[in-house]
Chains A and B, each alone.
Chain A
Amino acid sequence: MIRILIVAIGAVLSGTSFAETEWRGGSPEDRAAIAAIIETWKQAYATGNGQAVADGYDPKGYVMAEKAPLAYGPTVGANLKKTFEANTIDMLLDLKEVEFNGTWCFIQGTFASKRLPKAPSPGTEPRFHAGFFFTLLRKTDSGWKVWRNMDTSSPDANPLLEQLKGRG
């Protein structure tokens, strides 16, 4: 369940930078909209506001997280709420590329997350998860919304993982 939440967050990361992101297609407005979504999620994540993340999903959008069942948009907020209530989660993202085609847009990159219970038992160690993510968004009357989302483990995210571990 935690992994669903982590993937649902997708780009909700502190320290996200677009400096090395490859952008293809899309109007300046579209690009700004995607950047704004990521910033919204970043703030939502930093403040533990799961609903704000879920609001970025199309109602029929869903997450295919690694080793977890599917989670549809409406359940994402509830899942995140439970996670944020019980855990502190820190996450980093390296957004590799953003590409538009008409009313579709995909983003992909690497992520690393660290989860620690708010009330840990003695000796509890943080849990880390790192890998690729791929998110397909569709432009709707309510703006760009997440339509399909998948993550998978990869050593390519190790630099982010080390960065996260270095935060203490």
Chain B
Amino acid sequence: MKIFRVLTTLFFAAALTGESLAIERRGGTESDYAEIQAFHDTSIQKFNAGDLEGSLADYLERLRVLHTKRTAITGRGEMRESWSKSFSSTATRPYLVSEIQEMELQGNGVGAWAYMVCRYASAVLDKTTGAIKGEVSNGRYIALMTKTEQGWKVLLDIDNGASGAAPDLADRLKKEVAK
């Protein structure tokens, strides 16, 4: 009965905040899903740590990144040029909070494809004070990935500021940076 009450509370809390309790997963094994979750989590950690080379290594050489309101980034060279400006700034740094909503695999082993649909919140932080500069944006992105000998790599990602997609993550971001 106690478990039921806990689950009920969690369900209604999730309904109120808009958060999902479970990630939709299809086409793979528990091991595949864990691998993709770990790939996602470490990618975000590397990004927030300003690890440019580590972040670039998460993408295929022939990557495409379609950021909202920006021109397309094609290939690691363009990505290095684009991201190094943000990562090397002495005044600010980007910060991202992301949560997988759905993942699905096609095939297995090297050459397999998978995609993640994620919700995100992002902001630019003052490097000295850690304070948020400007607005916190939120939305969704899809990352299409392929499995290589070196693990999963992003082939293409696209994001947009989908309406009401992740206000809870925007709140989470504010709390995280306030710590």
Bound: A102/B111 CA distance, A: 10
Report if B169 contacts A (CB, 8 A).
no
Q: Total A-B pairs in contact (CB under 8 Å)?
A: 80
Bound: A72/B66 CA distance, A: 23
Expressed in whole angstroms, the minimum distance between the Cβ of B37 and any Cβ of chain A is 19
- Complex contact B66–A67 (CB within 8 A): no
**Residues of the A chain whose Cβ atoms lie less than 8 Å from the Cβ of B72:** 132, 154, 156
- Complex contact A66–B68 (CB within 8 A): yes
**Residues of the A chain whose Cβ atoms lie less than 8 Å from the Cβ of B144:** 106, 134, 136
Report if B160 contacts A (CB, 8 A).
yes
- Complex contact B117–A152 (CB within 8 A): no
| A154 touching B107 in the complex, CB below 8 Å, given contacts A64-B162, A68-B163, A148-B115 | no
- Complex contact B107–A152 (CB within 8 A): no
Query: What bracket does the count of chain B residues touching chain A fall in?
Result: 20 to 34
**Residues of the B chain whose Cβ atoms lie less than 8 Å from the Cβ of A155:** 69-71
- Complex contact A154–B66 (CB within 8 A): yes
**Residues of the B chain whose Cβ atoms lie less than 8 Å from the Cβ of A101:** 106-107, 111, 113, 146
If over half of A's interface residues share one DSSP class (helix, strand or loop), that class is named, otherwise mixed; here it is strand
- Complex contact B68–A154 (CB within 8 A): yes
Instruction: Give the residues from 137 to 158 in chain A that come closer than 8 angstroms, CB to CB, to chain B.
Output: 148, 150-156
| A67 touching B142 in the complex, CB below 8 Å, given contacts A136-B115, A154-B69 | no
Instruction: Give the residues from 105 to 151 in chain B that come closer than 8 angstroms, CB to CB, to chain A.
Output: 106-107, 111, 113, 115, 117, 140-142, 144, 146
**Residues of the A chain whose Cβ atoms lie less than 8 Å from the Cβ of B67:** 152
Among A103, A104, A156, contact of B71 (Cβ-Cβ < 8 Å): A156
**B-contact 0/1 string along A45-80, CB 8 Å cutoff:** 000000000000000000011111110000000000
- Residue contacts A-B, CB under 8 angstroms, 6 given: A64-B142, A65-B162, A69-B162, A106-B156, A134-B158, A136-B144
* Interface residues of B, Cβ cutoff 8 Å to A: 64, 66-72, 106-107, 111, 113, 115, 117, 140-142, 144, 146, 156, 158-164
